[in-house]
Copies of this chain bind each other. A is one copy, B any other.
Amino acid sequence: MDITSREASNKRAFERMCGAEPVLVDVQPAAKVLPGMKRNTILTSGPPLPWTGYHGGQRDAILGAALFEGLAKSRVDAETKLRAGEIEIKGCHDFDCVGSLAGIHTASMPVFVVENKKEGNFGYCNFYEGTNPRRLNYGVYDKDVHDRLLFLQDIVAPVLGEAIRLSGGIPLKPIMQRGLHMGDELHSRNTATSLLFVKELFPHLLHLHSANSDAVEKALKALTEDHYFFLRLSMAAAKCSADAAHGIEGSSIVTAMGFNCKNFAIRVSGLGDEWFLGPHASVEAKLFDGHTEDEITWMGGESPITETIGLGGFAQAAAFPLQRYQGGSAEAMAERNLQMYHITFAENPNFKIPYFGYRGTPTGIDIMSVLKNNILPVMDIGIAGRDGGQIGAGVVKAPAECFESAYAAFRSRYEG
């Protein structure tokens, strides 16, 4: 395959990625909307592993999921059923879905239903669990986690679903565009977009209040009590945008990045659904007080879908306030952001960085450019601790190996 036709394929992928029009249309239980999801399916982050492949926090999160969903009576019971395949483990990405950290989705969990109105495909993601650093997606399952998940499911999700249906659908791209001008990069910082999202919901919450004041007030509190609510919407929007660019013959553009407890992995538009694996990313972390580097652990994560479409680490210079959360300096953030222009197809026509004079974010990672320039994609992520829970945040670099093995597959498929 010659460079001209690869260029044409990549252009098509880039245009479909950037042309997506993600609209939040509903909130529904996962099993009701995720294609092929069954009552006994547990989704988790990264390329799926056999049950025995999961360890640490991701394993604990899967066990917690089985208990939460009532698929098992005890951890031992859950292990038996998981080993026997009575409870099946699948990868979120194969269900049009993306997961944060361990990425657990069970059948009854509410998910945001985001439709790419341009192509008609969907992206799904469940809800942010709240301010407590001990969450199911950080490998913890206890009474607090259980209660919080039920609260989201029974109180927050019904109110949100009703408000969203009343709205007729909330276009997410305008919110994301504006958020980039208000200090968010839509991965580790969603402070402005969480507010902009609630602002869209306000008029509908007013209407729902008289009939159900207690639930509406509780839902409002969950939406506004901290700054991370929008991340799951950014992820679902990114998923349906990236998927629109997937499966284009001859394209070397990355359409997913994520990891499980074992490997970092990427998918490439022109290379089908295969994951190209590498070791875990290297991290520059800023840890919460009282935690140390040796506690850092990997329990999965698919939020780098945001970097895949030109956000997060690829928009760091829009979000200097992130310094406080994940460390580094404004200069380092700007420099890192500029590097990403060398490995991406073009500048995003929608997502702009004020500090760079409203230059579009670097978008559409090309595996060829990554290898040629020896520059690896950077991502803004939350950091999990060995004993479960979030212990900090930081910037990671994808490993070169993923790109090397994707390149080998690309050559063998298109030039072999």
Interface string of A217-234 (1 = CB under 8 A from B): 100100010000000000
Quick one: CB contact mask for A351-379 with B, threshold 8 Å, 1 for yes? 00011111000000000000000000000
Q: Could you say which residues of chain B place their CB within 8 Å of the CB of A205?
A: 206
State which of A61-69, A112-120, A319-327, A390-398 sits at the interface with chain B: A319-327
Query: Counting CB contacts under 8 A, is A330 at the interface?
Result: yes
Q: Once the chains bind, are A203 and B220 in contact (CB under 8 Å)? A: yes
The answer to whether B321 touches A182, judged by C-beta atoms less than 8 angstroms apart, is: yes
Which residues of chain B are within 8 angstroms of A191 by Cβ–Cβ distance? 181-182
Q: Tell me the nearest residue of chain B to A191, going by C-beta.
A: B182
State whether the Cβ of A413 lies closer than 8 Å to any Cβ in chain B: no
Contact of A320 among B206, B224, B324, B354 (CB under 8 A): B354
Residues of chain B within 8 A of A195, CB atoms compared: 192, 195-196, 199
**Contact call A324/B358, Cβ cutoff below 8 A:** yes
> Which of B198, B210, B320 is close to A210, meaning CB atoms less than 8 Å apart?
B210
What residues on B are CB-neighbors of A236 within 8 Å?
none
Determine the residue in chain B with the shortest Cβ distance to A213.
B206
Instruction: Assess whether B354 is in contact with A183, with CB atoms less than 8 Å apart.
Output: yes
Knowing A191-B182, A357-B330 touch, does A202 contact B198 (C-beta < 8 A)?
yes
State the CA gap A358–B320 with chains docked (Å): 9
CB distance from A60 to the nearest CB of B (A): 35
The SS class assigned to the A binding surface is helix
Q: How many residues of A contact B (CB 8 A)?
A: 31
Complex interface: chain B residues within 8 A of A321 (CB) = 181-182, 354
User: Smallest distance from the beta carbon of A200 to chain B beta carbons, Å?
Assistant: 9
Closest to A178 in B: B191
A209 within 8 A of B: yes
Q: Is A82 an interface residue (CB 8 A)?
A: no
Residue A266 CB within 8 A of the other chain: no
A343 within 8 A of B: no
Q: Is A74 positioned at the interface, with any CB of B under 8 Å from its CB? A: no
For residue A350, CB closer than 8 A to chain B, the reply is: no
Which B residues are CB-close (under 8 A) to A355? 320, 330, 355
Is A80 interfacial (CB 8 A cutoff)? Answer: no
A residues neighboring B (CB under 8 Å): 181-183, 191-192, 195-196, 198-199, 202-203, 205-206, 209-210, 213, 216-217, 220, 224, 320-321, 323-324, 329-330, 354-358
Apart from A195-B199, A206-B209, A330-B356, list 19 A-B contacts with CB within 8 A.
A181-B183, A181-B191, A182-B182, A182-B321, A183-B183, A183-B354, A202-B224, A203-B217, A203-B220, A205-B206, A206-B206, A206-B213, A206-B216, A323-B354, A323-B358, A324-B354, A329-B357, A330-B357, A355-B355
Listed from nearest, the 6 A-B pairs whose CB atoms lie closest are A320-B354, A181-B321, A321-B354, A182-B183, A182-B182, A195-B195
Q: List 17 A-B contacts (CB under 8 A).
A: A182-B191, A183-B183, A183-B192, A183-B354, A192-B192, A195-B196, A198-B199, A198-B202, A205-B206, A206-B209, A206-B213, A206-B220, A209-B209, A209-B210, A329-B357, A330-B355, A355-B355
